[in-house]
Amino acid sequence: MKFCVKHSIHFYQRKLGIFVLLLMPLFTFSQNNWAVKSSVGYGFLSPHHKSMQYLIESHSFNANLGLNIKMRNTNNWLQEWRMPTVNLSYYFASPGNKNAIGYAHSLLISSDISIITFGKSKLYYSIGGGSG
């Protein structure tokens, strides 16, 4: 049986991501007006053209860490925009070939604005931008 280092690293990356997500409730907390959010993704890229096949060497990995602030005030503009949530997040991705493609880093800011509220559920739209 042949041992492959590349596959064992991906195995441990997935396990670490799951472990961090399971422990997040123990070390993070949320108050009425702010929250910390995180997400981890793992998958693959599919070449959409044969000439791009060589770029894909392994699976892709991404992580997102963000801070959400719920705007609560009596300002007229906040009431007009139905008390939006402002989000600031950092995004990291590894597309699967660090030598040819590299890594992706981005800093994003967005705002979630409520359209309709159904009890505890909300339908909202998000607008934002960032650099990366």
Amino acid at the residue 103? Y
Distance CA 86, CA 82 (A): 12
92 pLDDT exceeds 80? Answer: yes
pLDDT band at 86 (very low <50, low <70, confident <90, very high): confident
Q: Of 17, 29, 1, 11, which is closest to residue 92 (Cα–Cα)?
A: 17
* For residues 92-113, average pLDDT: 87
Stated pTM of the model: 0.60
Domains of the chain: which residue ranges?
Answer: 5-131
